């Protein structure tokens, strides 16, 4: 069993092999995804909504992301562990950003993910890589900027916007990212960017032609139902399973069926 590294993902792209990425926020889920053979596990700031019940990702902070990073890292042997740097933890100044980024690696992450592309982010990426921290970029719809964007809006829809995304992707690649998440962009834009980069792209609602694919684990498992993006595919119905189990447990207690004679000391 070889640990997935930046070199593994690069080779997969070169060999035109797709790779898988899922979010996980706790020890046992991460352990099972790892056992299943997932390539990359992301401690996504989506945990703000799925785990902590916040309205959006901007409410989560470094301390919370640190706790979930530690838990996930303990459960994983093979997959690459990536932590999302939360809102405002990397945009105030380079020095604090590098401290926060380095701290995630000390807690068990193998890499971090940063949203956006501007001169500051490009400098931060190259400084992080110099410091020894691999970085995944994230463009297209960037949830931490949703108040500026004005909602969950598909990006890169016209030629100018698509060309701007390609320009950003190339700048990020040059700055040193080893992979790039493309969120909520038309499929042809995902394809176009993928074909024009040497590093792997990861589709988060960017169509079928990216090198890797990511999904929020609660969407995959049918656990979170406040909203579900179009690109999510539900592989089971954990919500009804949880309600069903709790209902049966309550019924068994009321009827005296739990605990039985094998469940006592
Ligand atoms: O926070 C998250 O879960 C993410 C992915 C879905 C890419 O950023």
From 46, 152, 223, give the residue whose CB has the most ligand 1 atoms within 8 Å, as the site to mutate.
Answer: 46
pLDDT at 34 over 90: yes
Which one of 14, 64, 183, 261 is the catalytic residue?
183
Average pLDDT, the chain: 98
pLDDT at 165 over 90: yes
Percentage of the residues of the chain whose pLDDT score is greater than 90: 99
Query: Separation of 260 CA from ligand 1 center, angstroms?
Result: 44
Asked if 183 is an active-site residue, the reply is: yes
Q: Are 83 and 92 within 8 A, CB to CB?
A: no
Which pLDDT score, from 0 to 100, does residue 171 have?
A: 98
Which pLDDT score, from 0 to 100, does residue 64 have?
A: 98
Ligand 1, atom nearest to 215 Cα: 6
pLDDT at 86 over 90: yes
**Chain-centre distance of CA 50, in angstroms?**
13
Residue 142 Cα distances to 117, 127, 186, angstroms: 10, 22, 15
Ligand 1, atom nearest to 57 Cα: 1
**Chain-centre distance of CA 164, in angstroms?**
23
Protein residues whose CB sits closer than 6 Å to any atom of ligand 1: 23, 42, 44-46, 84, 181, 204, 214, 216
- Tell me the two tokens of residue 102: 């380095």
The string of DSSP codes covering 75-120 is H-SSSEEEEEPPTTSSSS-HHHHHHHHHHHHHTT-SEEEEE--SHH
Kindly state the average pLDDT of the residues 152-164. 97
Q: What own/partner pairs with CB < 8 Å and gap ≥ 24 does 111-114 have?
A: 111/6, 111/80, 111/81, 111/82, 111/83, 111/135, 111/136, 111/178, 112/82, 112/83, 112/84, 112/85, 112/136, 113/42, 113/82, 113/83, 113/84, 113/85, 113/137, 113/138, 113/181, 114/85, 114/90, 114/138
Ligand 1, atom nearest to 46 Cα: 1
Query: Separation of 228 CA from ligand 1 center, angstroms?
Result: 13
Kindly state the average pLDDT of the residues 114-133. 98
Query: Separation of 234 CA from ligand 1 center, angstroms?
Result: 16
Rounded Cα distance between 198 and 178, Å, is: 9
Query: Separation of 253 CA from ligand 1 center, angstroms?
Result: 39
What confidence tier does 1 reach under pLDDT thresholds 50, 70, 90? confident
Percentage of the residues of the chain whose pLDDT score is greater than 70: 100
Q: Are 160 and 189 within 8 A, CB to CB?
A: no
What confidence tier does 129 reach under pLDDT thresholds 50, 70, 90? very high
Rounded Cα distance between 250 and 36, Å, is: 32
């Amino acid at each position: 069993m070889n640990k997935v590294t930046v070199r593994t993902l690069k080779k997969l792209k070169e060999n035109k092999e797709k790779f898988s990425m899922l979010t996980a926020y706790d020890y046992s889920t991460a352990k099972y995804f790892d056992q299943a053979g997932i390539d990359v596990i992301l401690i996504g700031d989506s945990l703000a909504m799925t785990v902590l019940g916040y309205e959006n990702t901007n409410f989560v902070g470094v301390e919370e992301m640190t706790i979930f990073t530690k838990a996930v890292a303990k459960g994983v042997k093979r997959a690459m562990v990536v932590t999302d740097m939360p809102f405002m933890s990397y945009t105030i100044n380079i020095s604090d950003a590098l401290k926060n980024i380095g701290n995630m690696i000390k807690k068990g992450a193998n890499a971090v993910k940063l949203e956006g592309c501007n001169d500051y982010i490009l400098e931060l990426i190259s400084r992080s890589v110099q410091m020894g921290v691999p970085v995944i970029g994230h463009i297209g719809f960037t949830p931490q900027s949703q108040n500026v964007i004005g909602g969950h809006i598909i990006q890169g829809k016209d030629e100018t916007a698509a060309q701007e995304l390609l320009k950003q992707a190339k700048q990020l690649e040059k700055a040193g990212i080893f992979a790039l998440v493309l969120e909520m962009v038309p499929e042809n834009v995902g394809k176009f960017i993928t074909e024009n980069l040497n590093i792997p792209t990861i589709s988060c609602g960017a169509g079928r032609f990216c090198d890797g694919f990511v999904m929020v684990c609660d969407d995959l498992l049918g656990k979170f139902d406040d909203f579900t993006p179009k690109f999510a595919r539900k592989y089971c119905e954990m919500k009804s399973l949880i309600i069903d189990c709790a209902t049966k447990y309550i019924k068994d207690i009321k009827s005296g069926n739990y605990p039985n004679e094998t469940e006592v000391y």
